């Protein structure tokens, strides 16, 4: 049996919001079983569950909203929680946006290592895809298809010589997420930066927290991976699929997709009768997620 997991202790960090440019303090706290992942805006006292039902704006980042109060840029933190198998936690922020830090999920992985993980006394149920569902918008598509593991196959293509085509397939485990996906940073095109700023977005963006692509190359010194861009798209997709609220057994097949399509295909899965069932861990997932052995130990910083 695999059990739900939360954090061992509180951890916190401070950083600026990518779009607002304002400083924000983030604290991650343990939570009881079936609490799920929830955001608490401590400055206004409103709690927002990290579920599909609370999705707000989705241009350039995913925002959660409830009663007119929102938390923006949640996807990298949610990806880290989902990728490392945290089911229940409270995320406190004292402003409208999660800090962007270095534009990847790596700082959140480090923070979660610092917190450590602890099993709860409630079995973990997985959302198993039984029938394919898809969301399509022109040449962009996102499909969820059956698989005994959580996997993603992602293809991107942009009208830019550096980014005509990148593709990557990955089976998600705590290790593959931490090593291959979490360090991949947000990226944007120089030609779009001015436009974003004019619309009040990316005010906190800089070469410290995003890869900026100019006409002939990246403005940053170097990439963390040759295919860092598609890896970041996978990171975003994991963060958006985390809004399903349960660990997924299925494969996302995405082409030129983004936050809106990731969420749309997830919504479609839940809305399609017979497209999924809730199951306890299958063989491979069970060995990977045993609460008292491998992952908990791997997540303790001293042993990492």
Residues designated catalytic:
259
- Indicate the residue among 120 and 170 with the shorter CB distance to Zn ion: 170
Question: Rounded to an integer, what distance in angstroms lies between the CA atom of residue 116 and that of residue 291?
Answer: 12
Question: Rounded to an integer, what distance in angstroms lies between the CA atom of residue 151 and that of residue 129?
Answer: 12
Output the smallest distance, CB 297 to Zn ion, in A: 29
- Indicate the residue among 88 and 236 with the shorter CB distance to Zn ion: 236
- Indicate the residue among 20 and 186 with the shorter CB distance to Zn ion: 186
Q: For Zn ion, which residue has the nearest CB? A: 236
Binding site for Zn ion (CB under 5 A): 186, 236
Phi first, then psi: give them for residue 15, nearest 5 degrees.
-165, -175
- Indicate the residue among 2 and 142 with the shorter CB distance to Zn ion: 142
What tokens does 206 get?
């800089």
**Nearest CA among 58, 14, 62, 18 for reference residue 37:** 62
CB-based contacts of 6, cutoff 8 Å, min separation 6: 30, 31, 32, 33, 35, 86, 87, 88, 89, 117, 118, 120
Output the smallest distance, CB 149 to Zn ion, in A: 23
Question: Rounded to an integer, what distance in angstroms lies between the CA atom of residue 19 and that of residue 81?
Answer: 22
Output the smallest distance, CB 125 to Zn ion, in A: 28
Output the smallest distance, CB 191 to Zn ion, in A: 19
Cβ atoms of 202 and 196 closer than 8 Å: yes
Question: Rounded to an integer, what distance in angstroms lies between the CA atom of residue 8 and that of residue 230?
Answer: 32
Output the smallest distance, CB 76 to Zn ion, in A: 6
Q: What DSSP string describes 45-68?
A: TEEEE-SGGGB---SSS--EEETT
Question: Rounded to an integer, what distance in angstroms lies between the CA atom of residue 50 and that of residue 205?
Answer: 24
- Indicate the residue among 145 and 158 with the shorter CB distance to Zn ion: 158
């Amino acid at each position: 049996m695999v059990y739900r997991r939360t954090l061992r202790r509180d951890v916190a960090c401070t950083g600026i919001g990518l779009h607002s440019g304002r400083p924000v303090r983030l604290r991650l706290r343990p939570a009881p079983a079936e609490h799920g992942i929830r955001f608490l805006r401590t400055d206004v006292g409103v709690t927002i569950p990290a579920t599909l039902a609370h999705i707000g704006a989705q241009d350039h980042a995913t925002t959660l909203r409830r009663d007119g109060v929102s938390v923006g840029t949640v996807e990298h933190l949610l990806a880290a929680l989902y990728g490392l198998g945290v089911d229940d936690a409270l995320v406190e922020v004292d402003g409208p946006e999660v800090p962007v830090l270095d534009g990847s999920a790596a700082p959140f992985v480090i923070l979660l290592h610092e917190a450590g993980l602890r099993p709860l006394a409630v079995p973990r149920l997985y959302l198993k895809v039984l029938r394919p569902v898809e969301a399509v918008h022109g040449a962009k598509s996102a499909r969820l298809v059956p698989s005994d593991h959580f996997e993603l196959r992602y293809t991107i293509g942009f009208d830019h010589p550096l980014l005509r085509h990148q593709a990557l397939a990955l089976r998600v485990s705590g290790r593959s997420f931490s090593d291959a996906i979490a360090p991949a940073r947000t990226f944007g095109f120089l030609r779009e930066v001015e436009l974003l700023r004019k619309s009040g977005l990316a005010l906190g963006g800089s070469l410290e927290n995003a890869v900026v692509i100019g006409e002939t190359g990246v403005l940053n010194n170097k990439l963390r991976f040759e295919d860092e861009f598609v890896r970041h798209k996978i990171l975003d997709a994991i963060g958006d699929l985390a809004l399903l609220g349960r660990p997924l057994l299925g494969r996302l097949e995405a082409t030129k997709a983004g936050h809106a399509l990731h969420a749309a295909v997830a919504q479609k899965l839940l809305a399609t009768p017979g497209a999924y069932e809730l199951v306890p861990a299958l063989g491979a997932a069970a060995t990977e997620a045993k609460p008292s052995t491998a992952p908990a130990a791997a997540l303790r910083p001293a042993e990492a």
